[in-house]
Structure formats: C-alpha cells, structure tokens
Amino acid sequence: MSQIFMTYGTMITPIGNSAEENFIAMMEEKSGVQFVENSGFNQENWPLGKILSLPVENRYNELLKRACANLIKAHGSNLFSDEKTLVIVSSTKADINALPKDTFASTRRILEEELHLKNKIVVISNACISGVIAINTAADYLNHTDYTKVVVIGIDALSDFIVYGFQSLFALSSEPSKPFDKNRKGICIGEASGVVILSKEKINDAFHVNYLGGSSSNDANHISGPSRTGEGLFRSVKLSMERASVSSEQIDFISAHGTGTSYNDEMESIAFDRLELVDTPLNSLKGYFGHTLGAAGLIEVIASMKMMENNTLLKSVGFEEKGTTHPINVLKENQEKEVTTILKTASGFGGGNASLVLKKCV
Amino acid sequence: MKLTGNCKISKNGVFLDGEFQKQLQPVDENWKKEIYSKLAIDYPKFHKMDALAKMAFLSVEILTTVSNIDKFKDSEIALIFANNSSSQNSDLKYIHSYNVKGSPSPSLFVYTLPNILTGELAIRHKWYGENCFFIEEKFDVEFFLEQVKFYFKKGAKTCLCGWVNSFEDIEECLVFNIENKGTNDTILKEQLLTLYNQ
C-alpha cells in the first residue's frame, strides 16, 4: 500500500472558524463552553459548546453550508468536483429537526449543491466514534479503489433532542466539563464541524501528516456504558498500532476521548494501562469544545495535527487533580515537545471504540 | 467472496437461506415478539430493544442456528450494517416522551442511534470485531460488497452485513454473511439482489 496523506479541510467551533484560528484560541486557553439559558428540559442553564453566530433555527444546515464555503475558499472548487474525489460524512443526528422527514436528506442536498460532487456521498452514523471510523474508511477507499482524494466531514449541531437526552441519562455536567479530573461531573454537549482531506499525494504546500493505520472494536458489553476492563478500546488501539507498525514507546501523544463522565474516563485509564501507555502525554479536548458527537473525532484529529505542526502539546482544559485508578499522564500545561507520532481514540454508545495512528510527514 | 448464509424477516414471515420458515410464521401485529416466542430463547434484554435492534437480533438468532459464524474468532467477525432511515422510529418515540408525555425518556434516548443494534449483536454473541453503520439512500449491493472487500483486506474472516429499516409502517430486515472464498462477484451480486427483492 502506498502512503496516505492528510491535511486540514476546515474547523468551525465556538472559538474559531478555521484550524489555525482554533489552535490560536486554544493556545490562549479559550474555551467554547459557556452557560446557555433555558437549555435544559426544566429550563436549566447547562454549560454547552454553542456557536453563538448560528441561527436559532436550521443550525445544522447553516453549519454545513459554512463548512462548504470554507472548503471552497481554502481549496477551490475543482478538488471537490473531481471525479476521483469521494466525500464521507460523519454525523450522529444530522438535521434532526427535519423529522418525520429524512434527517440526512439535507446533508446530501447541501453537499451536492455547494461542492458540485460527482460521486455518491458515504454517510457514517456510528455514535461518538463516527468521526474516527470515517477517517479509517477514507483510508480504505484510498488503499483499495481508484479515488485519489477523500474529504471527511464531521458535523453535529446542538438540539433540544440531544441536550434533553443526555440530561435524562444524568450525564450532563453542571459546570464546564473536567475530563479525567477527580471532580469531573459529566459531559458538556457541543456543536462543531471539522473536515480533513486524505489523499494519495500531498494536495498543497500546507502541513500534512501520514495516516498509518486505524481500526474499531466493540466492547460486546453494554449499549450505553463502557466496559469495566476497557476491552474494546484495548483491542482497537492494539490493532491500530499493529496496522501502523508502531509500538507503545513510539507514540508521542494520545488525543483521548475523555468525555468527563466518571465511567468513561476510568475505562480509558484502564485501557491505557493495559496498553502500557500510562506515561504517554494525553489530553481530552472536550474541555474546550464540549462533546461534539459526530464532529468530535474530526476536530480532535485536526487539533492534534496542529499540535504536531507546532510541536506544542495542548493542556487538557478542566483537568487539575488525578481522578482515575490508573495514573495516566494528563497534560496540565501546554508543553513544547517534538511530536512525531500520535494516537487518536474514541469510544461511544453501542459499545463502539475506534482509534488511528498519524505520523508527521518528513 | 461467497454468500454463506442469509435471513430475511418482516411481518410476512421468515426466510432462511431463501426458504420460507412456516413454523416461524407470525399471525398478529406484534410479530417480532411472536417470532421471539417461537424461537424459545431466553434473553430478557430483547424486550427492551427498539424495533431495529429486535429485527436484527431475531434474524441473526435464526441465521446462527444454521450457519457456523461462531467457528471464527471473536475478533474476525466484522459487522457492516446500513439503512436509509437511521433510527427514525425511535427518534420520534423519544421526542414524544418529552413533547407529549412530560419528560425525556432515557430508555428511549439510548436507542436513538442506529448502531445500537450492532452493539446488541456484539453483546449477545460476544463479537469484538470491527463495526460500522452507514446511512444509504437505498439498498446498494455494490456498496456493501465494497465495504466487505475493505474488511477482508484488513483481516476480517467473515462479514455479517445487514439492511434494517424501521420507519412509518415499513419494517424490514435482511442479514447476510459473506466469507472470503470462491464464487465470482457477479453471481454474488445477483444472489443478494434476488434476496432483497424476494
């Protein structure tokens, strides 16, 4: 198999409208999470990662249109209308307000209209691991078909549907989330869109990484709670490292899932301990953006690429005191460090776990 | 690639490897529960599942009575599922819980993701392999086989695929198992199309 390259598409969050803007804001420790009035089912003011400039109605479709506009501005339109370009979308709920009509119809329509695509759009909806699986699937297409470029779009917007749902599970945090911290209280929900472009050759002069390998594995344990042994995450990371031909010692940094719930973060520490990765620096970006579901894998990969480009590890916002059984190396401060090889992980409802390994291009 | 087993279920009945299963013929509206009872299995979690997961669960139960998927290691079985309605039926029921019934129901909310059904299958059969759930515009044989090919290249020994829909008054489920041996792909495509249209 030949090399696979990956570079930035775009990244839209409450703190920035591009990968670069987001990285600068993160370096300044800005968080996109703030209290949103009457966002709860009983009019609670939950802390959420809300993009304030999006309209009240039609947030998802507007966010997707913005992502398309950014893509055209940054890369021109030929890249997308090329017959050897494929688009993969990662979203959990898409345009949920379209119900009872097809919630994914607007995604296809907007992408076709804005990007003038020649090929069928592949949509992945696999809970919170959708984004990482979508990147892995993009690599499959480049490895085994004639496509030369695959655009992976991760996107989910805030909705009452999602906020009420996590509230009903008692999973929401009453304060901005504190992944891996002793006093973590749960999840903050957020909204974002993150886009990466994978290709068989570098597409421009911008920073690229090599995609080395990825995988998924099911916990085979519970539909809405993580495995107590971290089995699926353990298996997926092990397999991804095998496929990437890298060992634990070669991983410079882990972009963890870290939702901020008691069980999830504990599970991740167990899996990383089993993988001999407890000393490897890691962060969760949920403290900056909240949990953005189908976008999470994408924006976290993009932020990790920025860290590689700048040789700077970003701290895990919200983390103060060790809060897991196994003493994992959660970043308390931004740190300058040569970052060559990184591991990205994700875990989610349905017992899914996914991971991938990236390496800086030399 | 070779089709090594398939099962199609709906309110009209069960087809296992293309053969109508008379002994599993449901008669009333509550057809999924009826088939579950006829199978005489004891798995109380079934009753908590949404329609998508129930249909996938039942068809895989029936399929595994004749196919020996379990001869493979727990990490060698990839689950590749798709539909064109996501979790629409469960989404609407959950919305009803907070719009009409007074409070958002956590037990309905957890089923508002289509990949919960692959999680249910993994739990039932202790399958730890790779999973992916796609939203497609329509049943697309070429797409399924493309994905299957990817997972074989990555090391899966068998791919359990499924097309499962529950929306409006449509309830349909076809699961099929493909192994990485023999048969030409043109024949396989025709077999799958015939099964889908049966």
Give which of A39, A187, A218 to mutate to test B binding, by max B Cβ within 10 Å.
Answer: A218
Distance of alpha carbon B31 from alpha carbon B174, whole angstroms = 16
Distance of alpha carbon B152 from alpha carbon B157, whole angstroms = 6
* Entry field: residues in chain A: 362
Write down the residue that tokens 């379209």 correspond to: A98
Reduced to 3 states (helix: H, G, I; strand: E, B; else coil), residue A14 is coil
Q: CA-based angle A356:A348:B59, to the nearest 5? A: 105
pLDDT at residue B196, rounded to an integer:
95
Please choose, from the candidates A351, A140, A70, A111, the residue with its C-alpha nearest in 3D space to the C-alpha of residue B126: A351
Nearest CA in chain A to B167: A100
| Two tokens, residue B74 | 């727990």
pTM for this one?
0.98
Contact present, A319 and A292 (Cβ < 8 Å): no
Contact present, A21 and A32 (Cβ < 8 Å): no
DSSP single-letter state for residue A160: H
Distance of alpha carbon B31 from alpha carbon B13, whole angstroms = 9
Report CB contact under 8 Å: B123, A350. Answer: no
Tens digit of pLDDT at every position of chain A (362 positions): 689 999 999 999 999 999 999 999 999 999 999 999 999 999 999 999 999 999 999 999 999 999 999 999 999 999 999 999 999 999 999 999 999 999 999 999 999 999 999 999 999 999 999 999 999 999 999 999 999 999 999 999 999 999 999 999 999 999 999 999 999 999 999 999 999 999 999 999 999 999 999 999 999 999 999 999 999 999 999 999 999 999 999 999 999 999 999 999 999 999 999 999 999 999 999 999 999 999 999 999 999 999 999 999 999 999 999 999 999 999 999 999 999 999 999 999 999 999 999 999 97
Q: Which residues of B touch A219 (CB under 8 A)?
A: 119, 122, 128
**What is the assigned CATH class of domain B2-88+114-197?**
alpha beta
Nearest CA in chain B to A170: B106
pLDDT at residue B184, rounded to an integer:
85
Residue A183: Cβ-neighbour burial (10 angstroms; 0-12, 13-18, 19+): exposed
**How far, in Å, are A5, A180, A227, A284, B105 from residue A224 at the CA level?**
34, 19, 10, 20, 14
Q: CA-based angle A26:A187:B105, to the nearest 5? A: 150
Report CB contact under 8 Å: B74, A220. Answer: yes
Q: Which residues of B touch A104 (CB under 8 A)?
A: 86, 135
The minimum CA-CA distance between B8 and chain A, rounded to whole Å, is 23
Residue B153 touches partner A, C-beta closer than 8 Å: yes
Distance of alpha carbon B91 from alpha carbon B51, whole angstroms = 12
* Entry field: residues in chain B: 198
The minimum CA-CA distance between A320 and chain B, rounded to whole Å, is 31
Distance of alpha carbon A121 from alpha carbon A108, whole angstroms = 7
Using only the alpha carbons of chain B, give its radius of gyration: 17
Report CB contact under 8 Å: B110, A169. Answer: yes
The yes-or-no verdict on residue B157 having pLDDT over 90 is: yes
Nearest CA in chain B to A213: B154
The minimum CA-CA distance between B86 and chain A, rounded to whole Å, is 8
CB atoms within 10 A of CB B170: 12
pLDDT at residue B56, rounded to an integer:
98
Report CB contact under 8 Å: A103, B123. Answer: no
pLDDT at residue B48, rounded to an integer:
97
Residue B113 touches partner A, C-beta closer than 8 Å: yes
Write down the residue that tokens 């971290």 correspond to: A230
The minimum CA-CA distance between B20 and chain A, rounded to whole Å, is 31
What are the tens digits of pLDDT across the range B55-94? Answer: 999 999 999 999 889 899 999 999 999 999 999 999 999 9
Which pLDDT band holds residue B182 (cuts at 50, 70, 90)? confident
Residue B99 touches partner A, C-beta closer than 8 Å: no
| Domains of chain A, first to last | 5-199 (3.40.47.10), 208-360 (3.40.47.10)
Residue B50 touches partner A, C-beta closer than 8 Å: no
Distance of alpha carbon A303 from alpha carbon A319, whole angstroms = 18
CB atoms within 10 A of CB A84: 14
Chain A, chain B: beta-carbon pairs less than 8 Å apart: 143
Please choose, from the candidates A294, A311, A292, the residue with its C-alpha nearest in 3D space to the C-alpha of residue A132: A294
Distance of alpha carbon B2 from alpha carbon B5, whole angstroms = 9
Q: CA-based angle B17:B23:B27, to the nearest 5? A: 110
pLDDT at residue B55, rounded to an integer:
98
| Two tokens, residue A40 | 């709860």
CB atoms within 10 A of CB A320: 13
pLDDT at residue B6, rounded to an integer:
98
Distance of alpha carbon B20 from alpha carbon B14, whole angstroms = 6
Write down the residue that tokens 């798995």 correspond to: B43
ipTM: 0.97
Using only the alpha carbons of chain A, give its radius of gyration: 19
Of A123, A167, A223, the CB nearest to B119: A223
Report CB contact under 8 Å: B133, A125. Answer: yes
Distance of alpha carbon A216 from alpha carbon A218, whole angstroms = 7
Q: CA-based angle A97:A101:A103, to the nearest 5? A: 55
Q: Which residues of A touch B85 (CB under 8 A)?
A: 102
Q: Which residues of B touch A165 (CB under 8 A)?
A: 94, 104, 106, 109, 112
